[in-house]
A and B are shown apart, each in its own frame.
Chain A
Amino acid sequence: DGGITQSPKYLFRKEGQNVTLSCEQNLNHDAMYWYRQDPGQGLRLIYYSQIVNDFQKGDIAEGYSVSREKKESFPLTVTSAQKNPTAFYLCASSIRGGSLNTEAFFGQGTRLTVV
């Protein structure tokens, strides 16, 4: 099946630990995105990448880091510097970043709980 795979679906970590969320796509899309969603809220953009080996900060990048070494993979690391990391994290991809007439496709999300 083609699509975006996020793993794991649920993740628990102790406070102060770094944690890496996986996002893989086999759609041959150039652009990939990470969003964060808090209960009852809309999505907020953390980081995005329009092409391999390049990425840009979104609206709430502090406390997060990413890499884009391969076209199909865009892992997100939630560092200990992120003050409130418990949230629902969503990864998305689109054929080209920034284009007008291109929809984005989303994974099923990872729910991170820090205790």
Chain B
Amino acid sequence: DAKTTQPPSMDCAEGRAANLPCNHSTISGNEYVYWYRQIHSQGPQYIIHGLKNNETNEMASLIITEDRKSSTLILPHATLRDTAVYYCIVKSYGQNFVFGPGTRLSVLP
């Protein structure tokens, strides 16, 4: 079973920041938080992952709360091409990636 909870859908205006929340209240100390996205009819694309520190790369920023019970993926300037389903995944040692239903982000012109 997925260990995360995400809103089923969100809208964001083009050019604005998209903030996608994820709740993982049962996360353990050695579990990482991963984010993937899936554009319609394509394979999931890796975005970013982190343990406890905030992370940033060319695609997005990941903000993890101090208690690690929740995180937020930030797309700083959303474009229409960012419309996709976004998956937040908590991964344990020895286990595989478990994908829940994710959040369907619609970027609106």
B109 interface hit (Cβ, 8 Å): no
User: B100 contacts the other chain (Cβ, under 8 Å)?
Assistant: yes
Quick one: given A103-B46, A106-B43, are A42 and B94 in contact (CB under 8 Å)? no
**Interface assignment of A55: CB less than 8 Å from any CB of chain B:** no
Encoded as 1 (CB less than 8 Å from any B CB) or 0, chain A from 46 to 67 comes to 0010000000001000000000
Q: Are A100 and B91 in contact (CB under 8 A)?
A: yes
Q: How large is the interface on A (under 10, 10 to 19, 20 to 34, 35 or more residues)?
A: 20 to 34
Counting chain B residues whose Cβ lies within 8 A of the other chain, the interface size class is 20 to 34
B48 CB to nearest A CB, Å: 9
Binds B, one of A14-22, A79-87, A107-115: A107-115
- CB pair B43–A108 under 8 Å, yes or no, is yes
| 30 A/B residue pairs, CB under 8 Å, sorted by A | A4-B43, A6-B43, A33-B96, A41-B101, A42-B87, A42-B99, A42-B101, A42-B102, A43-B99, A48-B96, A58-B96, A88-B41, A90-B43, A92-B43, A92-B44, A92-B97, A97-B96, A98-B94, A100-B31, A100-B32, A100-B91, A100-B92, A101-B32, A101-B49, A103-B49, A104-B97, A106-B43, A108-B43, A109-B43, A111-B41
Task: Tell me, in angstroms, the Cα distance from A107 to B31 when the chains sit together.
Answer: 25
User: Which of A33, A106, A107 counts the most B-chain CB atoms under 10 A from its CB?
Assistant: A106
* Complex alpha-carbon distance, A41 and B95, angstroms: 21
Q: Which residues of A contact B49 (CB under 8 A)?
A: 101, 103
Question: Which chain A residue has the least Cβ–Cβ distance from B92?
Answer: A100
* Min CB–CB distance A52 → chain B (angstroms): 18
A105 → B minimal CB distance (Å): 6
Structural contact, A99 and B96, CB atoms closer than 8 A: no
Per-position binary interface string of chain B over residues 69-109, scored 1 when its CB falls under 8 Å from any chain A CB and 0 otherwise:
00000000000000000010001111111111110000000
Which of B42, B95, B99 sits near A108, CB closer than 8 Å? B42
What A residues does B65 contact at CB under 8 A?
A: none
A35–B97 Cα distance when bound, in Å, is: 10
Task: Enumerate chain B residues within 8 angstroms of A109, measured Cβ to Cβ.
Answer: 41-43
Q: How far is the CA of A109 from the CA of B40 in the complex (A)?
A: 11
